Protein backbone atom coordinates (compact mmCIF):
# COMPACT_ATOMS: atom_id res chain seq x y z
CA UNK A 1 0.00 0.00 0.00
CA UNK A 2 2.82 2.37 0.89
CA UNK A 3 4.51 1.43 -2.36
CA UNK A 4 1.36 2.42 -4.31
CA UNK A 5 1.24 5.76 -2.48
CA UNK A 6 4.83 6.52 -3.41
CA UNK A 7 4.09 5.80 -7.07
CA UNK A 8 1.03 8.04 -6.99
CA UNK A 9 3.01 10.85 -5.35
CA UNK A 10 5.73 10.50 -7.98
CA UNK A 11 3.22 10.85 -10.79
CA UNK A 12 1.71 13.91 -9.14
CA UNK A 13 5.12 15.55 -8.67
CA UNK A 14 5.85 15.12 -12.35
CA UNK A 15 2.61 16.91 -13.24
CA UNK A 16 3.15 20.00 -11.10
CA UNK A 17 6.92 20.05 -10.61
CA UNK A 18 8.54 23.46 -10.88
CA UNK A 19 12.28 24.09 -10.89
CA UNK A 20 13.99 23.48 -7.54
CA UNK A 21 13.48 26.25 -5.00
CA UNK A 22 17.09 27.37 -5.17
CA UNK A 23 16.84 27.61 -8.95
CA UNK A 24 13.66 29.65 -8.73
CA UNK A 25 15.28 32.02 -6.29
CA UNK A 26 18.17 32.54 -8.71
CA UNK A 27 15.78 33.37 -11.53
CA UNK A 28 13.64 35.71 -9.41
CA UNK A 29 16.77 37.49 -8.20
CA UNK A 30 17.88 38.04 -11.80
CA UNK A 31 14.42 39.07 -12.91
CA UNK A 32 13.78 41.59 -10.12
CA UNK A 33 10.22 41.90 -8.81
CA UNK A 34 8.66 39.03 -6.88
CA UNK A 35 6.26 36.91 -8.91
CA UNK A 36 3.46 34.83 -7.39
CA UNK A 37 4.89 31.26 -7.27
CA UNK A 38 1.93 29.76 -9.10
CA UNK A 39 2.14 32.34 -11.86
CA UNK A 40 5.90 31.86 -12.05
CA UNK A 41 5.53 28.11 -12.57
CA UNK A 42 2.84 28.76 -15.18
CA UNK A 43 4.98 31.34 -17.01
CA UNK A 44 7.74 28.75 -17.32
CA UNK A 45 5.46 26.01 -18.66
CA UNK A 46 5.82 25.50 -22.41
CA UNK A 47 3.03 23.73 -24.23
CA UNK A 48 5.29 20.77 -25.03
CA UNK A 49 5.67 20.05 -21.29
CA UNK A 50 1.95 20.53 -20.72
CA UNK A 51 1.00 18.11 -23.49
CA UNK A 52 3.40 15.45 -22.25
CA UNK A 53 2.02 15.72 -18.72
CA UNK A 54 -1.69 15.29 -19.19
CA UNK A 55 -2.75 18.65 -20.56
CA UNK A 56 -1.51 21.06 -17.90
CA UNK A 57 -2.17 24.78 -18.40
CA UNK A 58 0.49 26.48 -20.53
CA UNK A 59 2.11 29.91 -20.46
CA UNK A 60 0.38 31.05 -23.65
CA UNK A 61 -2.29 33.20 -21.97
CA UNK A 62 0.37 34.90 -19.84
CA UNK A 63 2.43 35.41 -22.99
CA UNK A 64 -0.58 37.10 -24.62
CA UNK A 65 -0.97 39.43 -21.65
CA UNK A 66 2.76 40.11 -21.39
CA UNK A 67 2.97 41.00 -25.06
CA UNK A 68 0.38 43.74 -24.55
CA UNK A 69 2.05 45.07 -21.38
CA UNK A 70 5.45 45.07 -23.08
CA UNK A 71 3.97 46.94 -26.03
CA UNK A 72 2.44 49.73 -23.96
CA UNK A 73 5.55 50.17 -21.79
CA UNK A 74 7.91 50.37 -24.76
CA UNK A 75 5.54 52.54 -26.80
CA UNK A 76 5.10 55.05 -23.98
CA UNK A 77 8.85 55.14 -23.30
CA UNK A 78 9.67 55.84 -26.95
CA UNK A 79 6.89 58.44 -27.18
CA UNK A 80 8.23 60.30 -24.12
CA UNK A 81 11.92 60.13 -25.02
CA UNK A 82 11.72 60.83 -28.78
CA UNK A 83 9.37 63.81 -29.19
CA UNK A 84 10.83 64.62 -32.62
CA UNK A 85 10.15 61.23 -34.19
CA UNK A 86 7.24 60.51 -36.52
CA UNK A 87 4.63 57.81 -35.98
CA UNK A 88 6.19 55.65 -38.69
CA UNK A 89 9.65 55.90 -37.13
CA UNK A 90 8.24 55.15 -33.67
CA UNK A 91 6.61 52.01 -35.04
CA UNK A 92 9.95 50.82 -36.44
CA UNK A 93 11.72 51.57 -33.17
CA UNK A 94 9.12 49.68 -31.15
CA UNK A 95 9.27 46.71 -33.52
CA UNK A 96 13.04 46.53 -33.13
CA UNK A 97 12.86 46.73 -29.33
CA UNK A 98 10.20 44.04 -28.85
CA UNK A 99 11.38 41.78 -31.68
CA UNK A 100 11.90 38.07 -31.13
CA UNK A 101 15.72 38.31 -31.38
CA UNK A 102 15.79 41.18 -28.87
CA UNK A 103 13.65 39.36 -26.32
CA UNK A 104 15.62 36.15 -26.85
CA UNK A 105 18.79 38.09 -26.07
CA UNK A 106 17.18 39.30 -22.84
CA UNK A 107 16.32 35.70 -21.99
CA UNK A 108 19.91 34.57 -22.58
CA UNK A 109 21.19 37.38 -20.36
CA UNK A 110 18.99 35.95 -17.60
CA UNK A 111 19.99 32.35 -18.28
CA UNK A 112 16.27 31.72 -18.71
CA UNK A 113 16.51 28.66 -20.93
CA UNK A 114 17.51 26.32 -18.10
CA UNK A 115 14.37 27.20 -16.12
CA UNK A 116 11.77 26.60 -18.85
CA UNK A 117 9.66 23.47 -18.42
CA UNK A 118 9.87 21.74 -21.79
CA UNK A 119 8.71 18.39 -23.08
CA UNK A 120 11.41 15.79 -23.61
CA UNK A 121 11.27 16.04 -27.39
CA UNK A 122 11.45 19.84 -27.41
CA UNK A 123 14.33 19.81 -24.94
CA UNK A 124 16.26 17.28 -27.02
CA UNK A 125 15.78 19.37 -30.15
CA UNK A 126 17.44 22.42 -28.58
CA UNK A 127 14.30 24.16 -27.40
CA UNK A 128 16.05 25.85 -24.49
CA UNK A 129 17.94 28.05 -26.93
CA UNK A 130 15.25 28.68 -29.54
CA UNK A 131 14.53 32.37 -30.02
CA UNK A 132 10.79 31.75 -30.28
CA UNK A 133 10.55 29.84 -26.99
CA UNK A 134 12.86 32.22 -25.13
CA UNK A 135 11.04 35.36 -26.30
CA UNK A 136 7.61 33.88 -25.57
CA UNK A 137 8.72 32.98 -22.04
CA UNK A 138 10.00 36.51 -21.41
CA UNK A 139 6.56 37.83 -22.41
CA UNK A 140 4.89 35.28 -20.11
CA UNK A 141 7.07 36.43 -17.21
CA UNK A 142 6.12 40.04 -17.95
CA UNK A 143 2.47 39.00 -17.82
CA UNK A 144 3.00 37.19 -14.52
CA UNK A 145 4.82 40.22 -13.08
CA UNK A 146 1.95 42.50 -14.11
CA UNK A 147 -0.63 40.26 -12.42
CA UNK A 148 1.47 40.07 -9.26
CA UNK A 149 2.81 43.61 -8.98
CA UNK A 150 0.77 45.87 -11.24
CA UNK A 151 1.89 48.19 -14.01
CA UNK A 152 4.52 50.43 -12.41
CA UNK A 153 6.82 47.70 -11.03
CA UNK A 154 6.41 45.88 -14.32
CA UNK A 155 7.32 49.01 -16.23
CA UNK A 156 10.52 49.29 -14.19
CA UNK A 157 11.62 45.72 -14.90
CA UNK A 158 10.78 45.97 -18.61
CA UNK A 159 12.71 49.21 -19.05
CA UNK A 160 15.69 47.71 -17.20
CA UNK A 161 15.73 44.46 -19.17
CA UNK A 162 15.42 46.07 -22.60
CA UNK A 163 17.47 49.18 -21.78
CA UNK A 164 20.19 48.46 -24.34
CA UNK A 165 17.60 48.02 -27.08
CA UNK A 166 15.76 51.19 -26.08
CA UNK A 167 19.00 53.20 -26.16
CA UNK A 168 19.73 52.08 -29.73
CA UNK A 169 16.11 51.95 -30.87
CA UNK A 170 16.46 54.63 -33.55
CA UNK A 171 19.33 52.88 -35.29
CA UNK A 172 17.87 49.40 -34.79
CA UNK A 173 14.54 50.63 -36.12
CA UNK A 174 16.23 51.87 -39.27
CA UNK A 175 17.97 48.51 -39.54
CA UNK A 176 14.70 46.65 -39.97
CA UNK A 177 14.76 47.85 -43.56
CA UNK A 178 17.86 49.85 -44.47
CA UNK A 179 16.75 50.47 -48.05
CA UNK A 180 13.50 52.07 -46.93
CA UNK A 181 15.30 54.04 -44.21
CA UNK A 182 17.86 55.30 -46.72
CA UNK A 183 15.05 56.30 -49.10
CA UNK A 184 13.39 58.30 -46.30
CA UNK A 185 16.68 59.91 -45.26
CA UNK A 186 17.64 61.01 -48.77
CA UNK A 187 14.16 62.40 -49.35
CA UNK A 188 14.40 64.41 -46.14
CA UNK A 189 17.72 65.86 -47.31
CA UNK A 190 16.43 66.59 -50.82
CA UNK A 191 19.04 64.29 -52.37
CA UNK A 192 16.75 62.25 -54.58
CA UNK A 193 16.23 58.52 -54.38
CA UNK A 194 19.19 56.13 -54.10
CA UNK A 195 20.03 53.65 -56.83
CA UNK A 196 22.04 50.46 -56.63
CA UNK A 197 24.68 48.86 -58.83
CA UNK A 198 25.28 45.16 -58.17
CA UNK A 199 27.97 42.82 -59.46
CA UNK A 200 28.40 39.12 -58.79
CA UNK A 201 31.54 37.00 -58.91
CA UNK A 202 32.22 33.29 -58.49
CA UNK A 203 30.41 30.11 -59.52
CA UNK A 204 26.63 29.93 -59.22
CA UNK A 205 26.66 27.77 -56.08
CA UNK A 206 28.90 30.15 -54.12
CA UNK A 207 28.41 33.50 -55.81
CA UNK A 208 29.31 36.68 -53.90
CA UNK A 209 27.59 39.94 -54.73
CA UNK A 210 28.88 43.48 -54.27
CA UNK A 211 26.44 46.38 -54.25
CA UNK A 212 27.06 50.12 -54.34
CA UNK A 213 24.46 52.60 -53.11
CA UNK A 214 24.60 55.76 -55.21
CA UNK A 215 23.05 58.95 -53.88
CA UNK A 216 23.06 62.23 -55.77
CA UNK A 217 25.54 60.78 -58.28
CA UNK A 218 28.02 59.66 -55.59
CA UNK A 219 28.76 56.20 -54.18
CA UNK A 220 27.82 56.58 -50.52
CA UNK A 221 27.93 52.95 -49.41
CA UNK A 222 29.07 49.49 -50.43
CA UNK A 223 28.05 46.04 -49.23
CA UNK A 224 28.67 42.39 -49.99
CA UNK A 225 26.63 39.25 -49.47
CA UNK A 226 25.58 35.88 -50.78
CA UNK A 227 22.55 37.42 -52.50
CA UNK A 228 21.76 40.69 -54.24
CA UNK A 229 19.26 41.49 -51.50
CA UNK A 230 21.80 41.16 -48.70
CA UNK A 231 24.43 43.15 -50.61
CA UNK A 232 22.00 45.99 -51.34
CA UNK A 233 20.86 46.17 -47.72
CA UNK A 234 24.45 46.34 -46.49
CA UNK A 235 25.19 49.07 -49.03
CA UNK A 236 22.08 50.96 -47.90
CA UNK A 237 23.18 50.68 -44.26
CA UNK A 238 26.65 52.03 -45.10
CA UNK A 239 25.15 54.88 -47.13
CA UNK A 240 22.75 55.72 -44.30
CA UNK A 241 25.65 56.05 -41.86
CA UNK A 242 27.71 58.02 -44.36
CA UNK A 243 24.98 60.58 -44.96
CA UNK A 244 24.32 61.00 -41.24
CA UNK A 245 28.04 61.55 -40.65
CA UNK A 246 28.40 64.11 -43.40
CA UNK A 247 25.15 65.99 -42.71
CA UNK A 248 24.98 65.74 -38.94
CA UNK A 249 26.84 69.01 -38.31
CA UNK A 250 25.45 71.98 -40.18
CA UNK A 251 24.08 71.43 -43.67
CA UNK A 252 20.61 70.03 -44.11
CA UNK A 253 19.71 68.52 -40.74
CA UNK A 254 16.62 66.38 -40.36
CA UNK A 255 14.06 68.44 -38.42
CA UNK A 256 14.52 67.99 -34.70
CA UNK A 257 16.99 65.09 -34.92
CA UNK A 258 20.45 66.64 -34.43
CA UNK A 259 22.18 65.15 -31.36
CA UNK A 260 20.04 62.03 -31.25
CA UNK A 261 21.02 61.00 -34.75
CA UNK A 262 24.69 61.62 -34.08
CA UNK A 263 24.42 59.50 -30.94
CA UNK A 264 22.77 56.74 -32.95
CA UNK A 265 25.55 56.89 -35.51
CA UNK A 266 28.09 56.38 -32.72
CA UNK A 267 26.06 53.44 -31.42
CA UNK A 268 26.19 51.81 -34.86
CA UNK A 269 29.95 51.64 -34.53
CA UNK A 270 30.40 51.10 -30.79
CA UNK A 271 27.64 48.56 -30.18
CA UNK A 272 28.38 46.51 -33.28
CA UNK A 273 24.91 46.90 -34.76
CA UNK A 274 26.33 47.51 -38.23
CA UNK A 275 26.01 44.41 -40.31
CA UNK A 276 22.87 43.34 -38.46
CA UNK A 277 20.77 43.59 -41.60
CA UNK A 278 22.75 40.84 -43.24
CA UNK A 279 22.23 38.57 -40.23
CA UNK A 280 18.47 39.12 -40.34
CA UNK A 281 18.29 38.46 -44.07
CA UNK A 282 20.42 35.34 -43.77
CA UNK A 283 18.02 34.02 -41.13
CA UNK A 284 15.13 34.63 -43.51
CA UNK A 285 16.84 32.40 -46.06
Residues annotated as catalytic (active site), given as ranges: 67, 139
Under DSSP, the state recorded for 203 is -
Question: Where is 29: in which H helix or E strand?
Answer: helix 21-31
Please tell me the distance from the alpha carbon of residue 206 to that of residue 128, in angstroms, as a whole number.
33
Please tell me the distance from the alpha carbon of residue 103 to that of residue 101, in angstroms, as a whole number.
6
Please tell me the distance from the alpha carbon of residue 10 to that of residue 7, in angstroms, as a whole number.
5
The residue length of the chain stands at 285
Beta strands in the chain (DSSP E): 195-201, 208-215, 218-225
Is residue 168 helix, strand or coil? coil
Please tell me the distance from the alpha carbon of residue 282 to that of residue 245, in angstroms, as a whole number.
27
Contact (Cβ atoms closer than 8 angstroms) between residue 180 and residue 197: no
Amino acid sequence: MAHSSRKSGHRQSRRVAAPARSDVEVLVYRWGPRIDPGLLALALTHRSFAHENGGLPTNERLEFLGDSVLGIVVTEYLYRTHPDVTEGQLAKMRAATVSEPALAAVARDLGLGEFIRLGKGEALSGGRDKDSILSDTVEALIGATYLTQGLEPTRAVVERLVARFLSSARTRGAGLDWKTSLQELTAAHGLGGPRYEVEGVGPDHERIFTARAIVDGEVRGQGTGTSKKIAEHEAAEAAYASILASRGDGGLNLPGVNEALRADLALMTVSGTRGGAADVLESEG
